[in-house]
Amino acid sequence: MPVEIAPSILTADFANLERELERIASADWVHLDVMDGHFVPNLTIGLPVIRRIAQISPLPTDVHLMIDNPDTYAPEYAAAGATSVTFHLEAAKAPVRLSREIRRQGAKAAAAINPATPVAALENLLDEVDMILIMSVEPGFGGQSFIEQSLAKLAQAKRLIGERPIKLETDGGADRQTMPRLAKAGADVVVAGSAIFGAEDPAAEIEVLRELGR
Ligand code: DX5
Ligand code: ZN
């Protein structure tokens, strides 16, 4: 299976989101970063904007919640029409219950871990999630440089997943240089923000990254 490309709109033009979505329509997902100014030191978009994007997006929506209290808020994003809802394991109080609730609301459930959180922390969640996200930068900002240790974590997560139908996603610092190594380490879905929206032609860049991930 070729690696799926999930452009993050964090570096897109927030005044023209519909047009920006058209520019990446050849991707596999659109990655939507929700930040609350508490879990991470940055603030982006929230539920009303995600709801509207889910309505108009030509692509499945991959909502990445970098927020405190996902137990309360994540199910609302699922109910708002997100295809997949990712919460951070570091912020969740009851991740099993939360994953079930997200699924009950009709979305795929995903759990993310920060660079300093060990992969083993996901072990008891494997029957409950559709995707695992290994952060390859500290969450909060686009355009940061890739943390090399993430490659070993991806390989470890791949082994942990085994034959289960769980996708392995990576987020942060993906570009032409890191893409081949991310694919080799086992990533199924690669999020890329600045590499795609910083390119002159985002659609062409998606193709370049896809080729490098083969
Ligand atoms: C970072 C976000 C990422 C970000 C990636 O906290 O979760 O999705 O947009 O941006 P790049 O690809 O520029 O590292
Ligand atoms: Zn993200």
Determine whether 33 is an active site residue: yes
Contact 66, 33 (CB under 8 A): yes
Pick the atom of ligand 1 nearest to 194's CA: 13
Q: Tokens 């900002």 appear where?
A: 141
Determine whether 201 is an active site residue: no
**Tens digits of per-residue pLDDT, 155-175?**
999 999 999 999 999 999 999
Percent with pLDDT over 70 in the chain? 100
Q: Considering 33, 62, 175, 188, which one is annotated as catalytic?
A: 33
**Tens digits of per-residue pLDDT, 31-78?**
999 999 999 999 999 999 999 999 999 999 999 999 999 999 999 999
Q: What's residue 10's pLDDT?
A: 97
- Whole-model pTM? 0.98
- 20 three-state secondary structure: helix
Q: Considering 28, 36, 62, 171, which one is annotated as catalytic?
A: 171
The total of structural domains in the chain comes to 1
The CATH number covering residue 63 comes to: 3.20.20.70
Pick the atom of ligand 1 nearest to 136's CA: 14
Asked if pLDDT for residue 1 goes beyond 90, the answer is: no
Give the β-pairing of 4-7 and 189-192. parallel
Q: Give the structural domain span for 120.
A: 4-212
